[in-house]
Amino acid sequence: MTTHTLIQFFYLGSAILFILSLRGLRGAESARRGLFYAELGMLLAIIGTLLKQEIISYEWILVGLIVGTAIGTPMGLWIPMTKMPERIALSHAFGGLAVTLVGVSEYYLFKHHGASWNVLKMTATGAEVLLGAITFTGSLMAFGKLQGILPGRPTTYPMQNVSNVLMLVAAVGIAIYMVFEPGAEAFFYIMAAAGALLGILLVMPIGGADMPVVICLLNSYAGLAASATGFAIDNNALIICGALDGGSGFILALMMSKAMNRSFGNVIFGAFGTVQEGPAGTTATGPAPNTGSVDDAVEILRVARSVIVIPGYGMAVSQAQHAVRDLSNALKANGAEVRYAIHPVAGRMPGHMNVLLAEANVAYEDLYDLDDINGDFSATDVALVVGANDVVNPAARTNKASPIYGMPVFNTEEARSVIVLKRTLNPGFAGIENELFIKTNTMLVLGDAKRTIQSFASGLKESSH
């Protein structure tokens, strides 16, 4: 068997394992096995690549391995689960930068060292550099918004959408021009710079409430860029795996948009998250929300026989998932049924709440999607909202002037009692007030969610003795 044939076998095995990995990730029970398949597939892809005879220096590969391990290992070990959205955004940025640098180096070898070139290679290189640059800077902007370094609300300016579209058309036009005139070096770097600027300008106007869709979209861009890199450097594993990543990311973004009742165009150009001008709920001059104490909430929970917990980003910020599990155990010991309502866009990435609750060993069968549990709120004693905001806002159903109108939300207000845990009365990531807070059956308990829930659990345990 020749080395080339052996390499292709490694790549084929890698592609099959990646497909099995995606299949395994469909359910919580098979997810761990799916991750193992992905890890094994990546190992085969790396081995196949290292067998290539074109590799110039294994010393530089070793340097890259050491540097990458030094960066990746601490990220994996020390970054808490609550920061997974930010870590994923950074990973997308690194991936985008990697494919961009590969494309630039391939073009440099062609231009200055006489490397072989053809129309397919120039097309693929242009695509990988443009998409990679957009992914790199766009992911950095997403990281900044998620981390709070940049404002979570949209940053807009006059003629923004028009200028973005014109810049995108110009960048694509340059990429097409380069196919026919690959020697126009200045245009190549202009295209790369335009892609980097586009990544910034496309993500900055998008509000934090749309970050789950943005992360999926950036994942799709990174996959497509990687697939284009595969064509540019003749790597079948990159072609297949990049296409899988790009396709799955795009499908997930479509699903997330559907869950928010929003189109792609609305996400990218709608500036979702702008502060509301009209009275879309509680305002500075409107009705004051109903607030209560820990003791008031404990009394309500003590007599409850059915409780639905609705987690949100506030639970992640306060790292309250373990406290939520302990409270759930105390409620169950008191004779209550406890379930968790998981909204598709709760948190800052798809599955954010699922990941946090799984970390706290909450049983997967206790988690319910919106469609499965929304009809049960009217027969529920207590709906406990832990740091969620926009996904429980009735304005999505009642106020046509609201920017979240039409977005599927939980029927939280139909529960007999609603207890909302919030650090402050500030609006959620969408930047709008919440009509739920002024409902007569709603009580807000202000403070850190983790400490508040721990107080709830302690109060329940004391009252049971």
Query: Which residues are marked as active site?
Result: 390
386 DSSP β-pair partners:
311, 421
First-to-last C-alpha distance (Å) of the chain: 74
Single-letter amino acid, residue 375: G
> Can you tell me the distance from the alpha carbon of 324 to that of 203, in angstroms, rounded to the nearest whole number?
33
Long-range CB pairs of 355-359 (<8 Å, 24+ gap) are 355/81, 355/84, 356/81, 356/82, 356/311, 356/315, 356/316, 356/321, 357/311, 357/321, 357/324, 357/325, 358/28, 359/81, 359/321
Q: Smallest Cα–Cα separation from 383: which of 410, 408, 351, 354?
A: 410
> Between the CA of residue 127 and those of 116, 151, 222, 246, what are the distances in Å?
18, 30, 11, 13
What angle do the packed helices 119-147 and 84-113 form, to 10 degrees?
A: 150
Using DSSP, state whether 8 is helix, strand or coil. Answer: helix
> Can you tell me the distance from the alpha carbon of 326 to that of 105, in angstroms, rounded to the nearest whole number?
54
Q: What is the Cβ-side half-sphere exposure of residue 351, based on CA atoms within 13 angstroms?
A: 17
Single-letter amino acid, residue 178: M
